[in-house]
Amino acid sequence: MKKIVILICFLLMSCQKADFNVVGGKGYNFASLSDQVIFLNVWADWCAPCIKKIPDFNKLDKHPNAKVFGFHFDQFDILESDEISMLMSRLGIEFENLISDPRDILDSGIPENVPTLWIVKEGKIIDTIIEPLNYEQLMAKLESHLVTSD
């Protein structure tokens, strides 16, 4: 009987619709990321500060309390996910990139600047940063949002 209950729970969880999807087809639910602070980095390959900060976001994404996602600014109107995949590979981006439009999942508009960093908890934007941050500054943001969200 215990095995049947576990199987039913597993099936119910696997049937849950994703809140958003990333390049490569994987889907995520905000509930499954509730123990992490989400950093949504709106970037562009034509933005020098965005490119310079890629290693910092790659490093931050390895932290157990942080999850980094990217979204290329041009995806709002012209870039497709196969083009994003090629850019990610060429630029050494290791964090996942959304294919879901942030306007649909976060009730946001199109940012006026790149880079724009949205810090997200429980599916809501809790902080917006419009200047590039180094790894130490990103860690300070992570720590401050871990404290305020507990």
* DSSP per position, 37-90: EEEEEEE-TT-HHHHHTHHHHHHHTTSTTEEEEEEEGGGGTT--HHHHHHHHHH
pTM of the model: 0.86
Mean pLDDT (the chain) is 90
Average pLDDT over residues 121-143: 96
Compute how many other C-beta atoms are within 10 angstroms of the C-beta atom of residue 31. Answer: 11
pLDDT in tens, 27-81: 999 999 999 999 999 999 999 999 999 999 999 999 999 999 999 999 988 888 8
- Tell me the CA distances in angstroms from 10 to 13, 16, 20, 24, one per residue in order: 5, 10, 20, 23
- Residue 9: band (very low, low, confident or very high) from pLDDT cuts 50, 70, 90: very low
Q: Which residues pair with 40 in a beta bridge?
A: 69, 118
Q: Which domains does the chain have, with CATH numbers?
A: 17-149 (3.40.30.10)
Length of the chain: 150
> Rounded to 5, what percent of the chain is helix, strand, coil?
40, 25, 35
pLDDT at 145 over 90: yes
